[in-house]
């Protein structure tokens, strides 16, 4: 009997936890460098079909498959900027210290074959020198309303890094496990330094 | 089952079911998640569960994503083809989607579990009450979408969030009141039992107010299906899918409710020869269930204040 009860509890416990996300996001990370270091992290989010249609139905008022400036403005204030309270789902550490994201730039929303995309930049303006700097980046929604796809080699790119020596690795970010420690986000680890200091 | 295990189950249900169902994208003051201290604490102080459970969770999310994607694909297909085979697949997918969806936090599971723990209920009646909550939960979403379509006529997602937040505040207030009612009723019964055993009032408290309070909270999963069907101009199909989804949800919600009925039954069927001791145990359990109900509803309510 005890075994049966325990089995029921385990099944119930597991089923309680795993089913939460309502929105699914495929996230792509682009690290944008300049001559002195890293200028920003550009994120591109691809939403699932159902959420895409819900947002498009609400904010592409003239149904032309394109968000004009007015539509984009409403969408930004109704269905994007609240993410500030969620740190834009983006968690960055520089040399082990948490980097607080105050604002994001260049927000764009796009419709492509019925799928919604958000693009925006997180300004970093990190100056590099010849000593290694370590940047850890994870993208996840700690409330787990949204499931963000794990970072993979294919979802990461780096731009304008001619003057930079860098290594990229991806691992599990066990330290930031969320949703009662049940979901372990993936983590992009960048080690960077300048090739030559002017 | 030891008291310690029961307590663990209760705590587990409480913590795993109490995430606020707020859409992070939607600019509604009630869901400024990062500004709510209690919610922040939930994130930084996670409860660690066995890695086997964690493994299941990590693997099941892509499965859920796939089910949702198949559902949207099949709805598009059915619109194009009107095929019976596609319709059959659609019904089956919506049912499975409902079962899995209701397993997530919310959907009245914790409230039902606590209610059944605080009230002696027959299994069949418990199942009917649980299923009623699941169906009301889905019907409430249909009603809210209807209200937005005909009255509000503004952004569906944002309006749904706003209306849903208000309904949840009312619902959790009613649940707190129900919890207090059960608590004091049990407390009075304990005092009475000290005077005369036969006067112990162990009758079931009517579930209708609870079904209404919990079921009124609209289901965000149902909303997504309804909005999707609106965008495809197949709202009747969307409503049908939501009803099938509700049938799937009722399986999971009933399972949660039945766990409460079962636990109450197991605990109160412990062989205690002393009638008075039995009565005190039974009523104490009911009071604990009621307290749990109050705490849970209070915790949820404060998230919206």
Task: Give the model confidence (pLDDT) of B273-287 as tens digits.
Answer: 666 666 777 777 777
Report the SS3 class of residue A147: strand
Q: Which of B104, B156, B232 sits opposite A58 (nearest CB)?
A: B156
* Residue pair B186/B287 in contact by the 8 Å Cβ criterion: yes
Terminal Cα-to-Cα distance of chain B (whole angstroms): 38
Calculate how close chain A gets to B97, using CA atoms only, in Å.
10
Q: Which of the listed ranges B74-83, B93-102, B130-139 does the model predict with the highest average pLDDT?
A: B74-83
* Residue pair A54/B224 in contact by the 8 Å Cβ criterion: yes
Dihedral Cα B113, A147, B249, B258, nearest 10 deg: -20
Q: Which of A53, A74, A80 sits opposite B228 (nearest CB)?
A: A53
CB proximity list for B93: less than 8 A, separation 6 or greater: B67, B70, B71, B74
pLDDT at B36 over 70: no
pLDDT at A179 over 60: yes
Domain assignment present for A14: no
For residue B9, list chain A residues with Cβ-Cβ distance below 8 A.
9
Q: Which of A14, A50, A84 sits opposite B68 (nearest CB)?
A: A50
Expressed as residue numbers, the domain containing A51 is: 22-194
* pLDDT class of A7 with cuts at 50, 70, 90: very low
Better-predicted residue by pLDDT, B292 or A148: A148
Domain assignment present for A7: no
Domain assignment present for A17: no
pLDDT at B295 over 90: no
Question: Can you give the pLDDT at residue B40?
Answer: 39
Domain assignment present for A66: yes
CATH number, domain with residue A81: 2.70.170
Ordered DSSP codes for A123-141: EEEEE--SS-EEEEEEE--
- Ranges of beta strands (E only) in chain A are 23-33, 37-47, 90-94, 97-99, 105-112, 115-127, 133-139, 146-148, 156-159, 164-172, 186-194
ipTM: 0.77
To which H or E segment does residue B100 belong? helix B84-102
- How many domains is chain A partitioned into structurally? 1
- Paired with A146 in beta bridges are A23
Whole-number percent of chain A with pLDDT over 70: 87
Calculate how close chain A gets to B84, using CA atoms only, in Å.
23
For residue A22, list chain B residues with Cβ-Cβ distance below 8 A.
23, 220-221, 224
CB proximity list for B4: less than 8 A, separation 6 or greater: none
Q: Centre a 10 Å sphere on the Cβ of residue A6 and count the other Cβ atoms it contains.
A: 12
Domain assignment present for A106: yes
């Amino acid at each position: 009997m005890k075994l049966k009860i325990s089995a029921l509890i385990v099944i119930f416990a597991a089923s309680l936890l795993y089913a939460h996300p309502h929105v699914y996001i495929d996230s792509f990370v682009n690290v944008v460098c300049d001559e002195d270091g890293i200028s920003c992290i550009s994120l591109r989010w691809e939403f699932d079909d159902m959420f895409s249609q819900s947002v498009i139905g609400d904010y592409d008022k003239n149904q032309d498959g394109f968000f004009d400036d007015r539509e984009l403005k409403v969408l930004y204030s109704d269905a994007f900027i609240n993410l500030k309270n969620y740190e834009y789902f983006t968690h960055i550490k520089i040399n082990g210290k948490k980097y607080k994201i105050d604002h994001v730039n260049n927000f764009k929303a796009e419709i492509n074959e019925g799928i919604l995309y958000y693009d925006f930049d997180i300004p970093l303006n990190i100056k590099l020198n010849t000593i290694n700097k370590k940047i850890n980046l994870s993208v996840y929604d700690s409330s787990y309303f949204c499931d963000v796809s794990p970072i993979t080699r294919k979802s990461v790119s780096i731009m304008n890094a001619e003057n930079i020596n860098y290594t990229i690795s991806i691992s599990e970010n066990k330290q930031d496990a969320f949703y009662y420690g049940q979901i372990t986000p993936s983590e992009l680890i960048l080690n960077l330094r300048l090739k030559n200091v002017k | 089952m030891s008291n310690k295990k029961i307590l663990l189950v209760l705590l587990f249900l409480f913590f795993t079911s109490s995430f606020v169902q707020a859409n992070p994208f939607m600019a509604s003051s009630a869901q400024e998640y990062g500004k709510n201290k209690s919610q922040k604490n939930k994130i930084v102080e996670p409860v660690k569960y066995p890695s086997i459970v964690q493994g299941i969770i990590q693997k099941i999310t892509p499965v859920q994503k796939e089910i949702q994607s198949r559902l949207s694909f099949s709805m598009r297909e059915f619109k194009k083809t009107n095929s019976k085979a596609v319709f059959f697949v659609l019904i089956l997918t919506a049912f499975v989607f409902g079962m899995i969806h209701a397993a997530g936090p919310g959907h009245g599971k914790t409230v039902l579990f606590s209610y059944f723990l605080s009230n002696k209920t027959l299994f069949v009646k418990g199942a009917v009450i649980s299923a009623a909550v699941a169906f009301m939960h889905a019907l409430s979403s249909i009603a809210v979408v209807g209200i937005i379509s005909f009255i509000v006529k503004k952004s569906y997602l944002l309006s749904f969030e706003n209306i849903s937040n208000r309904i949840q505040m009312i619902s959790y207030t009613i649940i707190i009141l129900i919890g207090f009612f059960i608590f004091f009723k049990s407390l009075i019964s304990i005092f009475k039992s000290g005077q005369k055993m036969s006067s112990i009032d162990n009758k079931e408290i009517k579930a209708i107010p609870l079904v209404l309070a919990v079921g009124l909270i609209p289901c965000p999963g149902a909303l997504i299906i309804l909005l999707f069907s609106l965008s495809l101009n197949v709202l009747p199909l969307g409503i049908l899918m939501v009803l099938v989804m509700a049938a799937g949800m009722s399986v999971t919600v009933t399972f949660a409710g039945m766990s409460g009925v079962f636990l109450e039954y197991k605990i109160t069927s412990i062989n205690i020869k002393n009638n008075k001791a039995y009565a005190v145990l039974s009523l104490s359990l009911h009071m604990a269930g009621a307290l749990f109900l109050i705490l849970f509803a209070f915790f949820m309510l404060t998230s919206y204040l």
